[in-house]
Chain A
Amino acid sequence: DQQVKQNSPSLSVQEGRISILNCDYTNSMFDYFLWYKKYPAEGPTFLISISSIKDKNEDGRFTVFLNKSAKHLSLHIVPSQPGDSAVYFCAASAHTWGNDYKLSFGAGTTVTVRA
């Protein structure tokens, strides 16, 4: 039972425009949410995170929005650049007994930025 869902497997956007990636979750115990970026033949790299006590976090061109009531978060990339073409994973963590800090991942969204 997948607790983190990315329902759009792919997204194509023109260079300079906004990319919006969406993520839904089912577990109300999740208290941290992270976005990772992955290039082919490389491991995922951390991009940005947000705590459940916030509704927005911004880092340069990347902004993550969290809507707890809807169990939904989104990643905005403005402006999109060719180097942003990659697979983006949404991940969530629940503060479990023992502080294991396990992550549940979505299936990923492949972003292609067109020149």
Chain B
Amino acid sequence: NAGVTQTPKFRVLKTGQSMTLLCAQDMNHEYMYWYRQDPGMGLRLIHYSVGEGTTAKGEVPDGYNVSRLKKQNFLLGLESAAPSQTSVYFCASRGKGTGNQPQHFGDGTRLSIL
């Protein structure tokens, strides 16, 4: 029972490098979200998707791009990594329903930009 799986779990990049974080969910959920967690700031929404082929900006989208080519996958890309993007990244998914349907989270990707 995998739920939401994030790869990789850890990564160290140099400034200017690019990379893609992968999120996969096996619950047939419509909605998927990417957050970053920084000390003292909780989780902040980067981008999200309400269905296959759709994406939208969240609270802190600058420097990131996303794609949802398949319903089960949501990719987060950093085209030119900056030290300010050092963070823990969480992916979440959610099924259809009213607002109290919870989002289900992966275990995170810890990313360090040197």
Contact = CB atoms under 8 A, between A and B. Distances in A.
B41 interface: yes
A25 to B, nearest CB: 13
Interface residues of A, number: 30
Nearest to A102: B45
Interface residues of B, number: 28
A99 interface: yes
Interface stretch (A12-20, A36-44, A67-75, A76-84): A36-44
B42 A99 contact: no
B41 A107 contact: yes
A43 B106 contact: yes
Most buried by B among A4, A89, A100, A101: A101
B56 interface: yes
A101 B101 contact: yes
